[in-house]
Homo-oligomer: A and B are copies of this chain.
């Protein structure tokens, strides 16, 4: 059995750890960069979709977003046609941090793909996207309280 999952876990923890240390400089605490980039790239997104996109619990996302709001990185706006949802938008301050996040992420990507040919990098991305799509079905399923069978 090709154990790609352990590799993925190691890579993800290492990268997250690095990012968290590096973004402290921009007053972002643990995990916040994850939410902020996505809100910048999807202005008007709602919490539910954001959590789904990041693959994190709704309640965790709720608190992370609340903190981003309190610290002035984003703002929550009510919707005219739907009183329940709160749309999320980056503030000036949030947008000003965005380039730093991208630059850091790009650098990590470069490091990760060091020694890869253009074809290999492309191939790696395709394979990972496929893995992600395979796994997200299970995530939805299990998160909704269902039990996998194996």
Binding site for B on A (CB under 8 A): 1-18, 21-22, 34, 53-57, 103-116, 120-125, 127-132, 134-136, 138-139, 142-143, 148, 150
Contacts and interface: CB of A to CB of B under 8 A. Distances in A.
Number of copies: 2
B109 A13 contact: no
A131 B142 contact: no
A125 B55 contact: no
Given A4-B109, A10-B54, A109-B3, A22 B142 contact: yes
A115 B128 contact: no
Nearest to A102: B1
The 8 residue pairs across chains A and B that have the minimum distance between CB atoms:
A12-B12, A107-B150, A14-B139, A7-B128, A13-B55, A14-B55, A2-B125, A124-B127
Given A127-B124, A127-B127, A134 B148 contact: no
A12 B109 CA distance: 16
Given A123-B127, A124-B2, A17 B143 contact: yes
Tell me which of A5, A21, A105, A132 has the highest count of chain B C-beta atoms within 10 A of its own C-beta.
Answer: A5
Given A131-B11, A135-B15, A3 B142 contact: no
